[in-house]
């Protein structure tokens, strides 16, 4: 957790060093603040015994990490940005004993049993999780209420619930969680993948506008022959700038989770796109676009690109192409805090609207089979947001998308 906090401070341009970060860890281990500090020995009535105070950590970290008072405001903004939500309805910084999440049995339910399990709404889910943190003191297995494993509880791992919070599970099993507790790591798409079906590249050629710009470094054979003939046979070499596709493309790609099934096809598309378009910019997002994106999945929390900055950086000449299966909980699109990985201040739908307003030429390429779109509520919501400009990742779908973008 504190590594991400350190990276957040560095991203905010604060001059914090690794040495200072290690000093902060040493101070915490030594109990300078927290239940072992003795700071509340004379205030037993008001203090929460055995608890860490966010204010104590704030003053400790600022004292160790900030060397100049001129950086206080910047530190306050970064601190608030990182810890926003720590004191919200559900405390997502609270540690859960690993024993609670150890898998001992695998729950198997019939379709009839699954249908009997009731879904909780977003607010009820968060409020209930808060209560579980307060109530639970030990491991639970096979139950329907507490944080545990192998049951029908909305909280935990290796069980089943139609709409819950997945905690302590290495990968998705039912694709029904509205939030995922654990931090996940994704792999970048390979832009050098061998192209399988060549027709992907052929379909992209419908989006072309050739131009010759830059230095003259390519032989113009026809003009050279004409000039040489007109010059009594004396060789007169003519050069021209290289001919290239002048179309500008902004490619936003969904990565991780349900997209793992489509890695090979998306890599083929990504590779073809990098080959075809000289003016290509790309970013990654997970499930839905929020307030930041990234270019390298290994550094997606330390090297973020604000979505507002991306909108301002590129002009309306860019063709905006989303690539993703749009398969997620509808909360992730419509609800502030709905992201499975962090608590976003604004709903994904708002960021989608800002992007398509900034780039009038846009399309969404979906690798999911078109036949299942009607059964995915999130896909229907996303189709409405992009004004039905969603196309399947097929030859016909790519051709239709490129034809629409070229108008």
Residue 252 is predicted with a pLDDT of 95
Task: Enter the DSSP assignment of 380.
Answer: H
- Tell me the residue length of the chain: 407
Is residue 386 within 8 Å of 348, Cβ to Cβ?
Answer: no
Residue-wise pLDDT for 252-301, tens only, equals 999 988 888 888 888 888 888 888 888 889 999 999 999 999 998 888 87
**pLDDT of 156:** 63
Residue with tokens 């997209």: 259
Distance CA 146, CA 131 (A): 10
Residue ranges in the chain modelled with pLDDT below 70? 1, 35-52, 84-123, 125, 133, 136-152, 154-187, 189-199, 201-203, 205-217, 242-245
Distance CA 289, CA 359 (A): 15
Element housing 5 (H / E) = helix 2-11
Which pLDDT score is estimated for 348? 93
Alpha-carbon separation of residue 65 from 7, 56, 75, 79, 109 (angstroms) = 12, 14, 9, 12, 52
Please tell me the distance from the alpha carbon of residue 195 to that of residue 29, in angstroms, as a whole number: 52
pLDDT at 302: 84
Structure tokens of 157?
Answer: 């791992």
Supply φ then ψ for residue 302, to 5 degrees: -100, -25
Return residue ranges of the chain for CATH 3.40.50.
199-207+246-405
Compute the distance between CA of residue 307 and CA of residue 4 in angstroms, rounded to an integer. Answer: 20
Q: How far apart are CA 146 and CA 129, in angstroms?
A: 9
- Give the pLDDT confidence score for residue 312 in this predicted structure: 94
Q: For position 272, what pLDDT does the model report? A: 84
CATH of span 199-207+246-405: 3.40.50
For the stretch 313-328, pLDDT in tens is: 999 989 999 999 999 8
Residue 294: other Cβ atoms inside 10 A: 20
């Amino acid at each position: 957790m504190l590594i991400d906090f350190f990276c957040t401070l560095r991203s905010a341009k604060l001059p914090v060093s690794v040495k200072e970060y290690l000093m902060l860890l040493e101070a915490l281990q030594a109990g300078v603040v927290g239940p072992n500090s003795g700071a509340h020995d004379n205030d037993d009535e008001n203090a929460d015994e055995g608890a860490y105070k966010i204010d104590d950590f704030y003053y400790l970290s600022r004292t160790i990490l900030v060397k100049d008072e001129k950086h206080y405001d910047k530190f306050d903004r970064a601190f608030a940005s990182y810890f926003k939500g720590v004191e919200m309805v559900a405390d997502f910084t609270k540690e859960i004993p690993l024993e609670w999440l150890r898998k001992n049995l695998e729950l198997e339910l019939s379709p009839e049993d699954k249908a009997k399990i009731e879904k909780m709404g977003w607010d009820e889910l968060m409020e209930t999780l808060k209560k579980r943190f307060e109530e639970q003191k030990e491991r639970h297995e096979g139950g329907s209420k507490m944080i545990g494993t192998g049951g029908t509880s909305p909280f935990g791992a290796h069980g089943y619930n139609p709409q819950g919070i997945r905690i302590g599970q290495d990968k998705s099993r039912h694709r029904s969680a509205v939030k995922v507790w654990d931090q996940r790591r994704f792999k970048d798409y390979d832009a050098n993948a061998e192209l399988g079906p060549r027709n992907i590249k052929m379909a992209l050629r419908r989006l072309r506008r050739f131009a010759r710009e830059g230095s003259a470094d390519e032989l113009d054979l026809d003009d050279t022959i004409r000039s040489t003939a007109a010059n009594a046979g004396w060789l007169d070499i003519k050069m021209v700038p290289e001919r290239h596709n002048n179309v500008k493309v902004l490619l936003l790609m969904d990565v991780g989770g349900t997209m793992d099934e489509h890695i090979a096809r998306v890599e083929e598309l990504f590779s073809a796109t990098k080959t075809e378009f000289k003016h290509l910019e790309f970013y990654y997002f997970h499930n839905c676009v929020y307030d930041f994106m990234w270019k390298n999945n290994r550094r997606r929390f330390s090297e973020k690109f604000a979505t507002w900055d991306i909108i301002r950086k590129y002009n309306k000449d860019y063709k905006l192409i989303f690539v993703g299966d749009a398969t997620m909980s509808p909360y992730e699109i419509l609800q502030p805090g709905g992201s499975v990985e962090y608590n976003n201040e604004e709903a994904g739908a708002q960021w989608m609207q800002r992007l398509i307003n900034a780039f009038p030429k846009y399309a969404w390429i979906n690798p999911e089979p078109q036949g299942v779109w009607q059964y995915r509520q999130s896909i229907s919501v996303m189709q409405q947001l992009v004004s039905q400009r969603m196309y399947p990742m097929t030859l016909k779908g790519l051709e239709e998308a490129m034809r629409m973008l070229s108008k």
